[in-house]
Amino acid sequence: MFLKHTHRLQIQLQPSPTSTRSGMTSIQDHTQFFARIHVHGLTSEHIEKKPITLERYISFPPPVRSYSCPDLAVTDVDLSPRALDPVFDLTARVRFDVPKANDGDESKSNPGGFLGYGRSGLVFPLEVLSIFPSSDRRAADLLAQLPPLCIKVATPGYARCLAREAWFYEHLDTKGLTGVITPRCYGVFHAALGTSRYNPDFEVDIPGYRYYYVAKRPIWDHIQWHYTAPLWEERIDSKKKSLVLAPYFVDDHKGSYKSSPWRLFSQSPKITTLTVLVMDLLGEPMTVKEFEEEWDGDVQNMYDDLAPLFIMHRDARFPNLLRVPPHAQRQCETHMNDPPSAAFSGPRNEGL
């Protein structure tokens, strides 16, 4: 089918303090592809590089901000995470051969050689090696059809942020916006290191990135005991030394937020974990010149698509606005009748 219009840009949804299908014949939902991932390149054991297995976890749903809707009833809202019934194991290798940006920004907490870097994580290309069980015909079909992937590795303290980001991708996918304004996300995966019987001596080992140096630093220097980043709806209770739900936020009628295993999840230098997202690999970030010349319409269209869902994305920086490869595009039903000047014309590409 000829696509009359598709956004040339997609946005990376990363929760910030100010914001809140596949060709497989039997598995239509890409979020159910992978039950676990075996990743080469991220960890070592006694200095020797060893692959690590990360299990699939449910995403972290948000509560609803009721400040502007005082009459909102929790019975009106269902924000429960997508139920999981994944099928395959993915084996992949993280690539660190991305050319380093020559911006003088390399530091103890910024290694360079990545696709993207921000407060909550680092993004690297992910090379798919195999899909198990290989005896399943669907595994071979999926391996042949799977687009280029990337992996987002949570920085210490920000595991819950990636779990929340995964929820937003799920939510937008139910509205038909995957491939229109966001890439496909295959889920959030998690593993404990040092305290797990499976990974007793494993350490995070990313070239040029001092993971444990970052992990020993609190989120804020003035709160020495706090190592878990709060989300938008949370505030710090100094007396309890914990995160609590801020005023004007309510849970849905299922109690999805309060019952989530991520709500009480905490991190410290003594408890090392590894949390990642697996997503479709997109293209280059937008530049100032491109925005001024022709892409401002697509940015506005993306906000138009988010508005009916009551999602506020307040981190629309150029590094979060990426070109869309042809394989990742879907028809934008809202803007499919826009004038030709708004159509895709190139070969490349938080809170409720």
Amino acid letter, residue 137: R
Confirm whether 293 is domain-assigned.
Answer: yes
| Choice between 11 and 247, residue whose per-residue pLDDT is larger | 247
Confirm whether 1 is domain-assigned.
Answer: no
CA 63 vs CA 68, 120, 248, 254, 326: distances in Å: 14, 20, 10, 11, 35
Q: Tell me the pLDDT tens digit for each residue of 5-37.
A: 345 666 666 554 333 333 344 567 899 999 999
Confirm whether 352 is domain-assigned.
Answer: no
pLDDT of residue 93: 98
Question: What is the average pLDDT score of the chain?
Answer: 80
Confirm whether 127 is domain-assigned.
Answer: yes
Assess whether pLDDT exceeds 90 at residue 88: yes
Confirm whether 315 is domain-assigned.
Answer: yes
Burial of 283 (0-12, 13-18, 19+ CB in 10 A): middle
By C-alpha distance, which of 279, 260, 217, 345 is closest to 92?
279
- Domain range for 63 is 9-342
pLDDT of residue 323: 83
Confirm whether 120 is domain-assigned.
Answer: yes
DSSP letter for each residue of 165-182: HHHHHHHHHHTT-BTTTB
**What is the count of structural domains for the chain?**
1
pLDDT of residue 291: 79
Confirm whether 347 is domain-assigned.
Answer: no
Assess whether pLDDT exceeds 80 at residue 224: no
Confirm whether 78 is domain-assigned.
Answer: yes
| Choice between 182 and 200, residue whose per-residue pLDDT is larger | 182
pLDDT of residue 138: 92
Q: Tell me the pLDDT tens digit for each residue of 255-299.
A: 999 999 999 998 888 778 999 999 999 988 888 888 777 666 778
Assess whether pLDDT exceeds 50 at residue 340: no
